[in-house]
Chain A
Amino acid sequence: MSNSSLALTRRKLLAGAAGLALTTPMLNRAWAAEPTQINMLAWYGHAEPDIVAEFEAANNVKFVPKYYAGGDNMLALIAQSPPGTYDLILSDAEFVQQLNAAGYIEEMDASLYPFDEFFPEYQNFPGHWTGDQLWSVMVRFGLLGVSYNSDVLSRAEAMSYNAFWNPKLTGKVGHFDWHLPNLGQMALLLGNRNPSPFDISQDAWDAVQEKTLSLKPQVGGYFDYGGTFSGLKNGEMLAMAGIGDWITGVLQKDGAPVASVIPEEGGIQFTESYSIGKGTSKHDIVNKFIQYMLSPEGQVKTIQMAAYPGLSPTKSGWKAIQAANPAEAERSGLIEGHDQSPVKLLKEGRIFFRDIPRQQNLEDWNDFWSEYKTA
């Protein structure tokens, strides 16, 4: 009788212990607050662990990214979603005005961000401000010039967009398949620098089309992000128009003999900026994340982002990358006085912000690009 009672007690004890063990994770989970979800609309890579994991762990948040491929795609995704769907929007700078005009983003409090740390050239970025109202904060940028296979072309040869017509590259010049950077580079080659390669007269636009068509015999293909990578990596394309270090920087890390330079005619800058989505209720944590990304720590992360590298607009970001990874700082010109320093190039008037066409309809540029591809 007593044995039976003892056995029963032991069984109960074991069952109780097992039950406790099994429910412990649930209890732990219940004790911890559910992470706050931040819905981010961005280019691929901006909500990947190499960028956000530490912030997520430190602040008990979880980023839920929706990645887009191009500004038009981004605008369409917002247009088709209810207000408040996206808490944080990473946009190309030329689309910020359209985001603002459509009422998709909220005004930002400039006092919350370290604008004093920005190089003066980037403090009042065009389109980010209307008067004193701030709509977007620049977090990183990149330069588009001549990307080339360094086994075939020397740096000196690549220092002009005329390199694309080099007989050594016949059939081996690739295009990143987007009209804006490609046609902007053609406009620069023809000397359209004042005020911008995207603000050109009809005559200049006709000349750009003619010059672009003359490149056709050199062209080996038109590629998306993946195709551009593989084309340059396997040597199928020996030069690429419309891109820059954001592609070749990744390939260089893999040991591919490729490089990018800003040629004498000038380069084009793409700019990525954070805006706060209209209707969000998570202003505090979103602002905290933007501050984190603009801090030296965040800038080091974004400069070395695994998906594609970028450049820092802040002085503290430059110092941080020089200390954390001197080789990367040297490679990407994030050293004051470096011959490919983006600030130096900007001061010399060799960098132009990517924009939408100012004197032509965007459809005209797009139509010409389709014609060029089938020519």
Chain B
Amino acid sequence: MRKLSLYPFVWRIPLMVWQGLFFVGPLLLMVAMSFWLVQNYRMQPDFNFTNWERMLTRGYFWDAYWVTLWRASLTAVLASLIAFPASYGLAFHLSATARRWAIFCLIVPFFTSYLVRIYAWQVLLAESGPLNALFGNAGFGPFTMLNSGFGALVGYLTLVLPLVVILQTFSLSSIDRNLIEAAWNLGASPRETLLRVIVPAAKVGLIIGAVFAFILSFGDFVAPFYLGGSKPPTLSILIIDTTKSGQQWPRAAVVAIMMIVTLFVVAFAAVGAAYRKRK
């Protein structure tokens, strides 16, 4: 018979309490709230499917859903692809000290508010901004970058790229160098070494990096609003719109639950893929 050990259980208690108070509790409240009704700008507890029916039968909800899903997926792919050469260089071509400094430099952007960085991008991307001035000097443009899907994408990458580089760098740095040398000794080309040794060995970190990029950009409000011009609105903007008009927090809860369910599905699928053993 397995003996119950008190020691590890006690150490788990803070985590369980934290998760219960700040994740499970609010989540359950939000699920309950999605069945409530708003009367005279006050939420009334109820068990009514009106909010679900209303939101899920509206074309604009699904338009916003697919736009959000597409943009988050694109950001995850682009961030992973853009980050990989940098992470590779940091992991394999820098000394440990230089790598530490590089990681520090990647953390520094987080010292500044994300909103402030987005406002800086507004200036840079404007038609009268410095980037278009440079393009103009080279005989191109001006290009419309602000208030567009491109602008939103720049914002998403501002948010996620440093994090993806850090996660990828940690993952690549922990690869056993003997495996790479063995591949070379066995005559593998650099491309084969990369695709058949390095990427599979760093798979977990690479996927986790992409998942973080997806999660952060899927729920982001700032980039699509301030750089994308709400054109078209994403789910986070839809939540704001729904609460602004008529104080429909229960309907906003429906949108939020759909977002959480999507994130759970994507995260579990990705983690499953990351840890799946090769047959």
Interface residues of A, Cβ cutoff 8 Å to B: 69-70, 72-73, 75-76, 79-80, 102, 171, 174, 177, 179, 219-224, 227, 230-231, 234-236, 362-363, 366-367, 370-371, 373-374
Is the C-beta of B233 less than 8 angstroms from some C-beta in chain A? yes
Given A79-B42, A221-B231, A235-B127: A363 and B246 interface contact (C-beta under 8 Å): yes
Q: Which of B58, B122, B144 contacts A370 (CB 8 A)?
A: B58
A223 CB contacts on chain B under 8 angstroms: 229-230
B58 CB contacts on chain A under 8 angstroms: 367, 370-371
Q: Which of A76, A177, A236, A367 contacts B147 (CB 8 A)?
A: A236
CB of B78, distance to nearest CB on chain A (Å):
23
Q: Which of B40, B229, B232 contacts A220 (CB 8 A)?
A: B229
Contact of A374 with B232 in the complex, beta carbons under 8 Å:
yes
Contact of B64 with A374 in the complex, beta carbons under 8 Å:
yes
Interface residues of B, Cβ cutoff 8 Å to A: 40-42, 58-60, 63-64, 67, 122-123, 126-129, 144, 146-147, 225-226, 228-233, 238, 241, 244-247
B42 CB contacts on chain A under 8 angstroms: 76, 79-80
Contact of B241 with A370 in the complex, beta carbons under 8 Å:
yes
Write the chain B residue with the least CB distance to A180.
Answer: B245
Per the bound structure, the CA–CA distance linking A23 and B16 in Å amounts to 51
Contact of B233 with A370 in the complex, beta carbons under 8 Å:
yes
Contact of B231 with A79 in the complex, beta carbons under 8 Å:
no
Contact of A72 with B229 in the complex, beta carbons under 8 Å:
no
Contact of A230 with B122 in the complex, beta carbons under 8 Å:
yes
Contact of A220 with B147 in the complex, beta carbons under 8 Å:
yes
Q: Which of B147, B241, B246, B247 contacts A221 (CB 8 A)?
A: B147
A370 CB contacts on chain B under 8 angstroms: 58, 60, 233, 238, 241
Across chains A and B, which 3 residue pairs bring their CB atoms closest together, nearest first? A221-B229, A374-B63, A221-B147
Interface centre among B67, B122, B231 (most CB of A within 10 A): B231
A227 CB contacts on chain B under 8 angstroms: 225-226, 229
Per the bound structure, the CA–CA distance linking A22 and B22 in Å amounts to 46
B60 CB contacts on chain A under 8 angstroms: 367, 370-371, 373-374
CB of A356, distance to nearest CB on chain B (Å):
11
Write the chain A residue with the least CB distance to B226.
Answer: A227
A371 CB contacts on chain B under 8 angstroms: 58-60
Contact of B128 with A234 in the complex, beta carbons under 8 Å:
yes
Contact of A235 with B126 in the complex, beta carbons under 8 Å:
yes
Total residue contacts A-B, CB cutoff 8 A: 89
Per the bound structure, the CA–CA distance linking A171 and B230 in Å amounts to 13
Contact of A75 with B233 in the complex, beta carbons under 8 Å:
no
A363 CB contacts on chain B under 8 angstroms: 246
Per the bound structure, the CA–CA distance linking A223 and B233 in Å amounts to 11
Interface centre among B129, B147, B228 (most CB of A within 10 A): B147
Contact of A75 with B247 in the complex, beta carbons under 8 Å:
yes
Contact of A75 with B41 in the complex, beta carbons under 8 Å:
yes
Interface centre among B67, B144, B233, B245 (most CB of A within 10 A): B245
A236 CB contacts on chain B under 8 angstroms: 126-128, 146-147
CB of A274, distance to nearest CB on chain B (Å):
20
Per the bound structure, the CA–CA distance linking A354 and B146 in Å amounts to 31
CB of B194, distance to nearest CB on chain A (Å):
42
Write the chain A residue with the least CB distance to B249.
Answer: A76
Write the chain A residue with the least CB distance to B232.
Answer: A374
B226 CB contacts on chain A under 8 angstroms: 227
Q: Which of B41, B127, B246 contacts A79 (CB 8 A)?
A: B41
Write the chain B residue with the least CB distance to A74.
Answer: B41
Per the bound structure, the CA–CA distance linking A102 and B41 in Å amounts to 10
Per the bound structure, the CA–CA distance linking A362 and B232 in Å amounts to 22
Contact of B244 with A70 in the complex, beta carbons under 8 Å:
yes
B232 CB contacts on chain A under 8 angstroms: 373-374
Write the chain B residue with the least CB distance to A226.
Answer: B226
Write the chain A residue with the least CB distance to B40.
Answer: A102
Contact of A171 with B144 in the complex, beta carbons under 8 Å:
yes
Write the chain B residue with the least CB distance to A235.
Answer: B128
Contact of A72 with B230 in the complex, beta carbons under 8 Å:
no
Mind listing 15 A-B residue pairs with CB under 8 Å?
A: A72-B41, A72-B244, A72-B247, A79-B40, A79-B41, A171-B144, A177-B241, A221-B229, A221-B230, A223-B229, A227-B226, A230-B122, A367-B60, A370-B60, A374-B63
B126 CB contacts on chain A under 8 angstroms: 234-236
Per the bound structure, the CA–CA distance linking A75 and B247 in Å amounts to 9
Contact of B128 with A222 in the complex, beta carbons under 8 Å:
no
Write the chain A residue with the least CB distance to B234.
Answer: A374
Per the bound structure, the CA–CA distance linking A223 and B231 in Å amounts to 10
Contact of B244 with A222 in the complex, beta carbons under 8 Å:
no
A70 CB contacts on chain B under 8 angstroms: 244
Per the bound structure, the CA–CA distance linking A73 and B146 in Å amounts to 29
Contact of A73 with B244 in the complex, beta carbons under 8 Å:
yes
Contact of A222 with B123 in the complex, beta carbons under 8 Å:
no
A102-B41, A219-B231, A234-B128 are known; give 11 further A-B pairs, CB within 8 A: A72-B246, A79-B41, A79-B42, A221-B229, A223-B230, A227-B225, A231-B229, A367-B58, A367-B60, A374-B60, A374-B233
Per the bound structure, the CA–CA distance linking A362 and B238 in Å amounts to 17
Contact of A76 with B41 in the complex, beta carbons under 8 Å:
yes
Write the chain B residue with the least CB distance to A371.
Answer: B60
Per the bound structure, the CA–CA distance linking A236 and B238 in Å amounts to 24
Write the chain A residue with the least CB distance to B63.
Answer: A374
A179 CB contacts on chain B under 8 angstroms: 245
Interface centre among B144, B228, B244 (most CB of A within 10 A): B244
Per the bound structure, the CA–CA distance linking A7 and B146 in Å amounts to 76
CB of A50, distance to nearest CB on chain B (Å):
24
Contact of B147 with A231 in the complex, beta carbons under 8 Å:
yes
CB of B254, distance to nearest CB on chain A (Å):
14
